Amino acid sequence: MTTHQDPTEEVFVVERPWGNFRQFTSGKPVTVKIVTVLPGHRLSLQTHAQRSEYWFVLDGPLTVTVDDDKRSVAAGESVWVPVGATHRMANEGTEPVRILELGVGAFDEADIVRLQDDYRR
């Protein structure tokens, strides 16, 4: 007998002050999210010790920082964030921006080390 888990059972949305993310997998080698960053908001400047991230920009532009590299990324472009890299994404535009994020490695929200945060978390 073969059983199949409904993949939609793992989907959940987490609201944040800068927008939200919809997570499609949990406890897998790769975590899949759609991150939405509201206009004029940015995520904390942060690092992760247990995972790297791949960002594919669905809408743009998006300002990204990875270590000392800060640049604007358009829709259709991607960014690699290695384990331990200091990184941030910011929406300096007037419309929400969505990013497909693949977290590679052990995923745990507690792995976030915030270096700067606009929301005092």
pLDDT mean for each 10 residues of the chain (121 residues): 48 85 76 94 94 95 97 97 97 97 82 90 84
Q: Which residues contact 121 (CB under 8 A, 6 or more apart)?
A: 44, 114
pLDDT recorded at residue 45 = 97
Per-residue tokens: 55 = 């960002």
Specify the CATH number for 7-116; select among 3.20.20.140, 2.60.120.10, 2.40.340.10, 1.10.10.10: 2.60.120.10
Instruction: Output the pTM of the full model.
Output: 0.80
pLDDT recorded at residue 43 = 94
pLDDT recorded at residue 115 = 95
pLDDT recorded at residue 111 = 81
**Quick one: which of 71, 120, 75 has its CA closest to 98?**
75
pLDDT recorded at residue 34 = 94
Per-residue tokens: 118 = 């606009």
